[in-house]
Each structure stands twice: as structure tokens, then as C-alpha cells.
Amino acid sequence: MKTLTLGLTLLASAAPAQQMLSTASPIPDGAETRFCYYEGMAYSEDAFVVLFGDNTVTSTVGTREEHLMRCARRDDGSLHWKPQSTFQVSK
């Protein structure tokens, strides 16, 4: 009988712990004020990334665009990607 009681106790205590893990966020509260996010990576303030993309508006235009973005702070304290410049390169 002791074994049965112990088994039921373990099952009962495991359920709330599993529920807490499934609802926990991998991003801590307030992270948007400390980092900019792109492609699953976190970047600090004043970090730069270059975004590449093909112009697919028409099949006759063959240009590639490159956007230089900087992680900048807004007035409310949060961080966001701010465009710095755009380049168009013909193929």
C-alpha cells in the first residue's frame, strides 16, 4: 500500500511542474528593452545587420537589395531595427 501512495503522490506533483514548463517563455520579461531580435538571434544596442533580398516585382528587373539596419533605442526605452541605408545592385 505504501508503494501505491508514493506513486500517486509523484504523479500528482509532476503535473503542476510540467504545466509551468509548458507555459514558461524563453524570453525574459523586459528583454525588448535590452535587445533587438533577428533570425532567432539577440543583438545589443548599436549592432548592425545587413538584409539581402531580390527584387521580384517584375521578371525583367534583376536587382538585389541590401539594407543596413542598426539596433536603436526608441523614446520609450525599447529597441528596434532602424534602417541606415539601402543599396540596389544590378545582376
The model's pLDDT over 70-85, given as tens digits with 9 standing for 90+, comes to 999 999 888 999 999 8
If one compares 25 and 53, the residue with the highest pLDDT of the two is 53
CB 68 within 8 A of CB 85: yes
Q: Domain for residue 63, yes or no?
A: yes
Q: Domain for residue 39, yes or no?
A: yes
- For the chain, what is the domain count? 1
Q: For the chain, give the mean pLDDT.
A: 73
If one compares 86 and 38, the residue with the highest pLDDT of the two is 38
3-state helix, strand and coil shares in percent for the chain, rounded to the nearest 5: 25, 40, 35
Q: Domain for residue 15, yes or no?
A: no
Q: How far apart are CA 68 and CA 83, in angstroms?
A: 6
Q: Domain for residue 43, yes or no?
A: yes
The 63-73 sheet, strands edge to edge:
48-54, 63-73, 79-90
Q: Domain for residue 80, yes or no?
A: yes
pLDDT average, residue stretch 20-36? 68
Contacts of 36 (CB under 8 A, 6+ apart): 42, 43, 44, 45, 47, 71, 79, 80, 81
Q: Domain span at residue 87?
A: 31-91
Q: Domain for residue 14, yes or no?
A: no
Q: Domain for residue 68, yes or no?
A: yes
Question: Is 90 exceeded by the pLDDT of residue 55?
Answer: no
Q: Domain for residue 19, yes or no?
A: no
